[in-house]
Amino acid sequence: MNKNEAVRKRIDVARKELDDADDELAHLLNQMRVAPRAEKTTVSRVVEDALGKLRAARAHLSVLEQQLARDDE
């Protein structure tokens, strides 16, 4: 496997991380809409964690895409 193939596989993993985090966040937001007020505080923390994961995955993907673009030049 050459270097670009390895980077592309890492990009695929990062995209899956993004999709998973996005799905989790959407699910949590739906739960939050119907949750009693007392439970919304707990759900808010979980949503914050999901957003953190989503942002980290996007940053990871961006770095990998930049690396691949440099290697293709």
Q: Which pLDDT does position 53 carry in this prediction? A: 84
Model's pTM, two decimal places?
A: 0.65
Residue 47: closest CA among 27, 68, 61: 27
In 1-73, beta strands by DSSP E:
none
Angle at 7 between CA 14 and CA 57, to 5 degrees: 20
CA 31/CA 26 separation, integer angstroms: 9
Residue-wise pLDDT for 19-72, tens only, equals 888 888 888 778 777 877 766 677 677 778 888 888 888 888 888 888 888 877
Q: How far is CA 57 from the centre of its chain?
A: 4
SS3 73: coil
